[in-house]
Amino acid sequence: MEELKVGLEWGLPLPGLDAHAAVIATNAILVAVVVLVAFYVICRSAKLKPSVPQFMLEAAAAVGENFLREIGGPKIVKYLPFCLALFIYILFANLAGMVPGFVSPTSNVNVNAAMALCVFVMTFYVGIKELGLKNYFRHKMGPILAIGPVFLLLETFTEIFRPLSLTLRLFGNIRGEDIFVIVLNNLVVGADQLFPFLKLDGGHVQYATAQLAMPFVYFLMALTSFLQAFIFAFLSILYFGAAVGWGEEEY
Whether the per-residue pLDDT at 46 is higher than 50: the answer is yes
188-216 mean pLDDT: 56
How far apart are the C-alpha atoms of 111 and 63, rounded to whole Å?
Answer: 27
- What pLDDT score does 171 carry? 92
User: In this predicted model, what pLDDT tens digit does every residue of 119-161 receive, in sequence order?
Assistant: 999 988 888 888 888 888 887 777 777 777 888 788 888 888 8
- What pLDDT score does 94 carry? 92
| pLDDT level of residue 113 (50, 70, 90 thresholds) | very high
User: Is residue 233 within 8 Å of 106, Cβ to Cβ?
Assistant: no
pTM of the model as a whole: 0.79
User: In this predicted model, what pLDDT tens digit does every residue of 47-56 receive, in sequence order?
Assistant: 777 788 778 8
User: In this predicted model, what pLDDT tens digit does every residue of 7-33 receive, in sequence order?
Assistant: 445 666 666 676 777 788 888 889 999
User: In this predicted model, what pLDDT tens digit does every residue of 88-110 receive, in sequence order?
Assistant: 999 999 998 888 778 889 988 99
How far apart are the C-alpha atoms of 141 and 139, rounded to whole Å?
Answer: 5
Instruction: Concatenate the DSSP letters of all residues of 162-200 into one string.
Output: HHHHHHHHHHHHHHHHHHHHHHHHHHHHTHHHH-GGG--
Contacts of 135 (CB under 8 A, 6+ apart): none
How far apart are the C-alpha atoms of 120 and 98, rounded to whole Å?
Answer: 29
Q: For the ranges 27-41, 98-112, 235-249, which has the lowest average pLDDT?
A: 235-249
Q: What are phi and psi of 232, to 5 degrees?
A: -60, -50
- pLDDT above 70 covers a percentage of the chain that reads 77
| pLDDT level of residue 212 (50, 70, 90 thresholds) | low
